Structure 1
Amino acid sequence: MALAGIPVHPAGLLLAAAYAIACVSARQFSLDQFFLPAGIRVAALLIVPQRRWPYVLLGELGYFAYLRIPTIDEYGLEWVILASTLLMPMAMLVVHLHLRKTISEAATGFWLLSLSISAAVAVTGLNLSLSRLLWPVPPPDTLLDAAERVVFGHFAAIITMAPLALLWARRRSGSPWQKRLLVPSLVAIALMLALGLCMQLISTDAHSTRTHLVLLAALPAITLTFMHGWRGAAIAIPLLNLPLHFATPSTGLPASFDLGTFSTQQNMAVMSVALLALGSSISYHHQRARSRGLAEETTLRLTRSSHQTSERELRERAAHLKHLSEGMDSSLSEMVSWLKSQGHHAVANSLQHASSVHSRLFREQASMVYPTGLEQVGLYIALQAGGACEIWNNTHRVIPPRLAGNPCLLTVDLQLAIYRSLIEAVSLLLELETGQVCVRARSGQAGGRRGIVAIVSLLDRGCTLSARTTDQAVERLAGRMLAYGGTVHCRGNRLRLVLHESITHASPAAA
């Protein structure tokens, strides 16, 4: 459909009609100290895309045409035309200038405060100036008295409606709502609704009682703000202001004003500002903590990936060494068989013995490069039968390890991490401390996690690890442990290593 060559969408006309009806209806319940159409004007501009703003302007013209055409004889045609056509463009300019600036989740509250104050001052200033200039008979009250009521009324309505409108406009963006807070949030909202209903039931002259109910309703409002930041404030502020507004006595005339509730509404405006500022601050710190957590998670994931890549390279190297060992054993076996066939049994036996010893040493060293047996028989067997155990035995300072639990239920990556950490920890104590070293480990399950606790300590409980040892332990072990969600504790004569993983993400490493 086109009008004078300009395309007109039926949905746009429906939007204009809905806006006009909403403003006319809200006008019947508005006071100078709480002017709902001002809040609806800014809220509509926040919800509706800018390409649809002409339809909002059309709805505004329809709304003013309904209200002001009958007043042409009283206030003059110039005022009716200018005051009806300039207010919405002024509000559009204010909203557009604010929307041009990209706002983060953390700065939304302060952005809303700036928008509310700017829109209230700009639109009200223009409206009051036009009335002073163009009315045949100027208004009886002074400009400052009128501005005090009208600017406050516009600001109170905008600060009530705009946060909720922005929350709806950004419903598909921002951080997700925390589901664990759903029940307490619903309880807080229900409590505010109940207190708002009580405001409607009490006498219109009971200003003190109404103020007490408002203060009680502020408690769940603060709770919502603490739980959800500026989004909680956006929900809480309408639940605070609208019940108070509807409980305020009204004459039903255009300049209706109730002095008894005005001070309470001023306090509510200050509380709304405080809630938005508090919510914005909470959202800011929550966003920073979330960003820091994501950065740490990314760093740990990259570190873990680096360790896994290194382990794959070592595994390939160990496989290559094993292939070389098998080739040398095969060649030596052929040489031994040939010597025996030639009658050189003594030389053959000597060569066979030397080959056996060197082959065993070669396999032990290869297992230190990568413990391939860990993938088949698990961590404990790899520790007790691999090259690490042989090296420990040769020092005559490491007593046989005491191992409990079934580490095969853990992933290979986790077992490799504790395997490398144990070897590093034992080497560290052998290098920097004196006396016997004890190794203990226990794997198991607690709650929804599986893990392993390993302790490398001095056998003499009266000894204490030196400061150099503890510093070296943290420096050399913490990197790998933290990459897998583990921790390193140095206390007394021991190093305590803890690694764990979620059961849902863990898969058995070996049968």
Structure 2
Amino acid sequence: MKKQWWTNDWLVQLGVAVGYALLYVLIHPLSSAHWPVHAGIRLACLLLMPYRFWPALLIGEALPNAYEVFPCLDSLGPTWVAVRSLPPFAVAMPIVWWCRTRMPPFPSHRLIDMKAMITCALLVALGGMVYSSLAYSVSLDNAETLSAEPVIAFGYFLGPYLAIFSILPWVLMAKLDYHPGHLREQLHKILSSRLSLDVVVLLIPTLAVLSWLNLIGSVEFKQVAPMIMFLPIAWLTIKHGWRAAAVGGPLAIACISLSSQFVDYPDPKTVATQTFLVIAITCLFSLGARISAQLLQEEEEKHSALNVQRLARQSFQLGEQRMRQTSQALEYLAGNLHITNGRLLEQMRRIVPNIESHAFYKQALATQNQVYRLAESMHPIAWRERGLPAALNETIARALDEAGIAYRCEINGRGFSRLAPSVLTATYRAACEAVVYVSSRLACTRVKLMLRGGETNGKRWVVLRVEGILEDTGVANAVYLSEERQRLASKLGASALDVAEMRDHVSIFDGGMHVRRPQDRLQITVLLQDITQEARRVPSAPVRLWVK
């Protein structure tokens, strides 16, 4: 079968060399002594391209570099031409190789070591400074200038460093966000993000206005314009992390470099402006990296908390299912006891007259009733057969009536049928715990329960309020029925939780609880939210940045 051209290694090497050479020529008009864009393209290629393509990249830069250098043979001398004939790519190669070997900027495919990245950029800029300073010092016209003006050598460091941070951040973001086959989804995600909105609405108009003022403004304004440009970038960095610095930093550098009128070689004013840019962009990247790491850690902690919450809800619901199964088994056992007792009664009547008044028969009936009550307390029949409203209206009402407490239940709203079973279970258990808590006061003579369900912005919720009416005249009746009141918790299957424990129980469902004690009343209000679907949609936050 005929091989495709991209499988031929020599053709691929040739394509890389020609492509890099064309890119070098195309960006040449944008490059200058104070902003050599080539330096950013060079470092990006060295960091991202495999080692086997480095010779092709070297050739791709050597050819256009020689085309630029040899016409200067008469004006700058053969020594300068000999030094500049060595492409800057050859100087950066060993530095980047050492960085990729000893402290890799990309420890894994989706991980960036920002400290190593900044260090690599710093070393490459220093290597470019040595290279450019050497070439400048051996030129015919500037043989003594370097020792007289060392600021020029420092300028050769600042320019490449700024050029690197004008190109490299965009390449890093492209590397992290690119997923083969999902380009359209990635573009939509980027354009619809809050960072993109802030950049378009706030950053770009601000930089455009400041760049225009920098062109026509006074000398004093030109001195403070770079500082003002970095204020919105710093704000966005604090808000969004390193990506804001990666987007805003290169834009600010480009605006300042294009709108400022620098001389051919760095002078003190140029060096002062570029020094501020270097310090600002380095600090913003370091700050943004740290903030991004903190944001990712918060996302992971939030996701872990959601997982714990989800497991707690699942455990809660599984416990209820076991209680329901146990309740059904107890009901079946009570039914068998009833049948057995009936048959035994028929047989004993022939032997023992008035068997109904015998202690043995009374004990059998008591055992049967206890089994029924235990099954009812674990999972009421009304709840199982007719739903939550029936359990609130019948089960709780019967238990309070036996304890001598008046009861009233109001249910309104909508969406109960669409609530998750775990939320309905939590609502009933919270109602039982709240009823037991307010009725534990001896002065409680009446209990009012109000339940309301609804839906807001697609999120379903339910609000439960239990209000106990406290009257001193009911204390005597409460003391008389104290035994029934003490059995109220067991009848309702409640654990007699205190306020803190009830609040913890409610928090499993992203809810809240509020206790009020107005005059002659005790109110407990509970909010529960159905977050089952929302929790499923929370993705695991990928770690995309590493800060040592």
TM-score (norm 1): 0.79
Shift of 1:194: 3.1
Task: Give yes or no for contact 2:309–2:508 (8 Å, CA) kept in 1.
Answer: yes
Matched, 1:246 2:258: yes
Distance 1:172 1:303, change over 3 A: farther
Q: Please state whether the residue corresponding to 2:260 is helix, strand or coil.
A: coil
SS in 1 for 2:498: helix
Aligned mates of 2:143, 2:348 — CA distance in 1: 126
Cα distance in 2 for partners of 1:31, 1:256 equals: 9
**Is residue 469 of structure 2 the alignment partner of residue 459 of structure 1?**
yes
Aligned to 2:91: 87
Q: Which runs of 5+ in 2 are unaligned?
A: 180-185, 473-495, 536-548
User: What is the SS of the residue equivalent to 1:225?
Assistant: helix
Change (3 A) 1:85 1:403: closer
Q: Distance in 1 between matches of 2:499 and 2:57?
A: 64
Please tell me whether the aligned partners of residues 445 and 451 of structure 1 are also in contact (alpha carbons under 8 angstroms): yes
> 1:235 maps to which residue?
247
Q: Which amino acid aligns with 2:509?
A: Y
Q: What is the CA deviation profile of residues 69-102 of structure 1, one whole-angstrom value per residue up to 9, with x for unaligned ones?
A: 5557612676356565631313423551442563
Deviations 1:138-175 (Å, cap 9, x if unpaired)?
7332253332110111111112222222111111489x
Give the Cα separation in 2 of the matches to 1:410 and 1:225. Answer: 41
Q: After superposition, what is the alpha-carbon deviation per residue over 1:18-57, rounded to whole angstroms, capped at 9, x for unaligned?
A: 3233334444443333222212211223443455444333
> Which structure 1 segments of 5+ residues have no match?
463-470, 507-511
CA distance in 2, matches of 1:33, 1:136: 22
Contact 2:433 2:502 in 1 (8 A): yes
Q: Which residue of 2 aligns with 1:473?
A: 498
Q: Which has the higher contact order (CA 8 A, sep 6+)?
A: 2
Cα distance in 1 for residues equivalent to 2:526 and 2:390: 19
Q: Distance in 2 between matches of 1:362 and 1:356?
A: 10
Give the Cα separation in 2 of the matches to 1:461 and 1:25: 89
Q: Which residue in 1 is equivalent to 2:511?
A: 486
**Change in 2 beyond 3 A, CA 1:430/1:106:** farther
Instruction: Quote the residue 1:41 is aligned against.
Output: 42
| Structure-2 change in CA distance of 1:207 and 1:62 (3 Å) | farther
Q: Does 1:314 align with 2:326?
A: no
Q: Determine which of 530, 535, 543 is the counterpart of 1:501.
A: 530
Does the CA-based 8 Å contact 1:45-1:95 persist in structure 2? no
Q: Does residue 164 in structure 1 map to residue 170 in structure 2? A: yes
Q: Give deviations 1:298-325, integer Å, cap 9, x for gaps.
A: 1111111211221222222122212222
Q: Which moved more, 1:145-154 or 1:97-106?
A: 97-106
Among 134, 139, 157, which residue is 1:151 paired with? 157
Secondary structure of the equivalent of 1:442? strand
Q: Supply the AA of the counterpart residue of 1:501.
A: D
The residue aligned with 2:382 is 373
CA contact (8 A) 1:87 1:123 kept: yes
Q: Secondary structure at the match of 1:245?
A: helix
In 1, Cα distance between equivalents of 2:135 and 2:372: 96
Instruction: Rate the CA distance shift 1:305–1:503 in 2: closer, same or farther, 3 A.
Output: closer
Which of 182, 193, 199 pairs up with 1:185?
199
Q: How does 1:12-161 map to 2 (within 5 A)?
A: 12-50=13-51, 52-70=53-71, 74-75=78-79, 79-80=83-84, 86-93=90-97, 95-96=99-100, 97-99=102-104, 102=107, 110-128=115-133, 139-142=143-146, 144-161=150-167
| Map of 2:371 onto structure 1 | 362
Q: Which amino acid aligns with 1:87?
A: V
Check conservation: 1:87, 1:127, Cα contact below 8 A.
Answer: no
- Paired residues of 1:124 and 1:150 also in contact (CA < 8 A): yes
In the other structure, the counterpart of 1:468 is none
- TM-score norm. by structure 2 comes to 0.74
How much has 1:131 moved relative to structure 2? 6.7
1:415 matched to which residue of 2? 424
Change (3 A) 1:357 1:285: same
- Whole-angstrom distance in 2 between the partners of 1:7 and 1:348: 101
Once the two structures are overlaid, the 10-residue window that deviates more, 300-309 or 401-410, is 401-410
Kindly tell me: are residues 505 and 187 of structure 1, through their superposed partners in 2, closer, same or farther at Cα, counting changes over 3 Å? closer
Q: Does the CA contact (< 8 Å) of 2:95 and 2:124 recur in 1?
A: yes
- For 2:460, give the aligned amino acid: R
Please give the alpha-carbon distance, in whole angstroms, between the structure 1 residues aligned to 2:29 and 2:534. 60
Q: Is residue 191–residue 220 contact of structure 1 (8 Å, CA) maintained in 2?
A: no
Q: CA RMSD in A?
A: 4.2
Report % sequence identity: 18
Choose 443-452 or 70-79, whichever is displaced more: 70-79
Aligned to 2:492: none
